[in-house]
Structure 1
């Protein structure tokens, strides 16, 4: 720029410095405490956060313990079920598991109707009222728990005539008692050799779907037994 003429050098001359201004004082309307509080850093409260973290950790540990206990109980039930299937005689807990040794069982097995999946508030009088439509009944036995006396959800109806039992077996299929569909079957414990209940690996299978013709064999068993 030293080669420029004076009239152009004036364009590059620095501006004069800014005039000095006295710094403003504090606002007289603002209290001193509020001013100091505004300038002071706000403390961070971590105690509630730490307490929540501890609670979440305790919940996770509790869930893990509960899941582990559930897995152990399920494995134990599976182990007992397999042992019961392998050797049912070791896991018989009541006389009803061995019908031949049950002193409360009486009557002709070929005249006995099995009624399962009963509501627990059904009484023997209710069973008589439902099943005496098919013929005279000799005896009704509602199986109960030996310790508590509560119903175990199944019963045996002994008819005086075998044909009445067969009629009830055929016609009572799909019967509902107190709003619940019950299971109708013949007494297999004393009529079918080697029969085991469902909880010991036997039974009629699932609770939802039944195989077609699954109930034809019991009546054929009765007919073959009565011919001999």
Structure 2
């Protein structure tokens, strides 16, 4: 497949133009020597990586079912999961969606590079004496953005999906959509080992090469 980058280079990811010759932070140095093992069946990961997408920046209340309902407009979903802390059960605010066919995964990936996809969930107030509010799968809001990936896609979209109306009762999150780099990208190093993609300048670990922080041409 040619819709995602094949190889990850921590040194390249550490510079906006991908041309650094020296690591500029200690995390890059750590990533350059890190040994990362790709997830496999022994880890309970058996889905097809080329039909699977990473979904990040979720709200803490988003569930696996919410994710499946919200993104099923792009195709039939085989599995959707929100990753949680194994001890506390608290959401780590990212997950994975596996489609039954590769084209649906590609459609969502390309749409995310053309637009910002916002997943919204309607919160129903609990009026009866019981626990927390319940989360009902809601709408998918799509807003145009100029964010692009570094994969040179020749894709033209006639129109964006319909934009959902604003509603103060909605619990929304603009999600990050990416291919599953950990299993398809040679040399991948996750953020916890000094690599990754994205981040903020203030964190001291800003990484380029994805849809959120694409590479830019060198400034002469």
Unpaired runs of 5+ in structure 1? Answer: 1-77, 214-228
Deviation at 1:146, TM superposition (A): 1.2
Quote the Cα distance in structure 1 between the aligned partners of 2:110 and 2:215.
14
Pair 1:210-2:203 in alignment: no
Quote the Cα distance in structure 2 between the aligned partners of 1:83 and 1:148.
32
Compute the TM-score of the two structures, normalised by the length of structure 2. Answer: 0.51
Deviation at 1:147, TM superposition (A): 1.3
Task: Give the structure with the higher percent strand.
Answer: 2
Compute the TM-score of the two structures, normalised by the length of structure 1. Answer: 0.49
> Could you report, residue by residue, the CA deviation over 1:92-132 in whole angstroms, capped at 9, with x for unpaired residues?
8xxxx742365221211000011011111100111011111
Residue equivalent to 1:153: 93
Match of 1:191 among 184, 188, 196: 184
Greater relative contact order (CA < 8 Å, ≥ 6 in sequence): 2
Residue equivalent to 1:140: 80
> Could you report, residue by residue, the CA deviation over 1:203-224 in whole angstroms, capped at 9, with x for unpaired residues?
22335952269xxxxxxxxxxx
Task: Give the structure with the higher percent helix.
Answer: 1
Quote the Cα distance in structure 2 between the aligned partners of 1:87 and 1:151.
30
- What RMSD over aligned residues (CA atoms) do the two structures have, in Å? 2.7
Quote the Cα distance in structure 1 between the aligned partners of 2:102 and 2:66.
21
Q: How many residues align?
A: 129
Distance 1:195 1:101, change over 3 A: farther
Structure 1 stretch 172-181 or stretch 139-148: which is displaced more?
172-181
For the 8 Å contact 1:198–1:205, the answer to whether it is kept is no
| 3-state SS, counterpart of residue 174 of structure 1 | strand
Unpaired runs of 5+ in structure 2? Answer: 1-24, 120-170, 202-211
Residue equivalent to 1:200: 193
Distance 1:200 1:156, change over 3 A: same
Quote the Cα distance in structure 2 between the aligned partners of 1:102 and 1:174.
35
